[in-house]
Amino acid sequence: MLTVELLQDSFSLYYKGRKIPAVPLYATPLLHYVQYVAPYVAKRLIDAGIRRFHMRDARAAWIIELACGGICTHAQDGDEVEGLLEEAYYNLLADRLLAYAVSADAVVVPCADPALARALMRRAREYAPDLATIASQHGGECPDADIRHTPRP
């Protein structure tokens, strides 16, 4: 039996009495986890003089545009920011997410966002080498994960 426990800033899943930590990445005012790193990314873009940037996720791009205060904008022909996003996720978000997995045996990595997936797997290997990474390959692929799960349609 699966049981869900809702708290103000997080939620937990219980399966057969065992707690499965879960992090509500979309439970932010702008409903996207990029909100956690947007100020960092915006500052780096402005400092580097990048006025037009490109990324796959249009909603995340809009949030970064807001953080830029109109100085930088999302454009198809802009500079790619995947590497910068990975750095931001690694430095600012991965520790926070993996803190929920202190007593866990495995962590599920969302492969739909390649930058977040790479940052989480890199941080997990550094701080908890025995923590298994399970790739949820819904919307993307994570070839470096220990276990790959491809959801069925």
Reported as a single tens digit per residue, the pLDDT across 40-67 is 999 999 999 999 999 988 989 999 999 9
Domain spans of the chain?
1-29, 101-153
Please state, in angstroms and as integers, the Cα–Cα distance from residue 76 to each residue in 35, 45, 81, following that order: 21, 16, 12
Q: What pLDDT band is residue 37 in, cutting at 50, 70 and 90? A: very high
Q: Which residues pair with 93 in a beta bridge?
A: none
Q: What is the pTM of this model?
A: 0.79
Number of other CB atoms surrounding residue 62 within 10 Å: 16
Please give the full DSSP string across 42-60, using - where no structure is assigned. Answer: HHHHHHTT--EEE-S-HHH
